[in-house]
Amino acid sequence: MSLARRTFLLRLGHTGLAALTLASGLLPRFARAEEARPAFMATAVADALKALGVGNPAKSDAISFKAPDIAENGAAVPVEVESTLPKTRSILLLVEKNPHVMSASFQFREGTDPYVATRVKVAESSVIHAVVTTDDGAFYTTRLVKVTLGGCGG
């Protein structure tokens, strides 16, 4: 087989793979991940919310937020957030004293139960914000989590 034919077949394969990727919708999904990058790089809660286009969120009792008062291991603090607000679109987790405050962002489609159970890194004792965005605006609630060595709170 000649070199020109091999080159042609290789380029044809790359073009086919690119077309298949575009048709399957994989590339737009990766492109959307870039949209949240400035929020994940923010060093202050207000900057992260601004990067996401979230205005001034209002405090809400319709958000259930569970996190331990004292965490022995700040590298994996379990948190649960559930929203009973109508038309919840996303849940954001922000840790005030982390070098980069935004820890997680979860998107919800219509008809999905807005519930999240995950673990976040908490560098030092800090307030964790759970921000819920809805069609009617943004809402939040907070929890103070103390990170200790060996579980001795102080």
Q: Flag whether pLDDT at 118 surpasses 50.
A: yes
- pLDDT recorded at residue 152: 47
The percent of residues above 70 in pLDDT, for the chain, comes to 81
Structural domain includes residue 153: no
SS3 content of the chain, % helix, strand, coil (to 5): 30, 35, 35
3-24 and 26-35 helices, crossing angle to 10°: 60
**Whether residues 21 and 67 fall in one domain:** no
Q: Residue 62 is part of which domain span?
A: 42-147
Share the mean pLDDT of the chain.
85
**Whether residues 30 and 60 fall in one domain:** no
Mean pLDDT throughout 104-108? Answer: 93
- Write out pLDDT tens, residues 46-99: 999 999 888 899 999 999 999 999 998 899 999 999 999 999 999 999 999 999
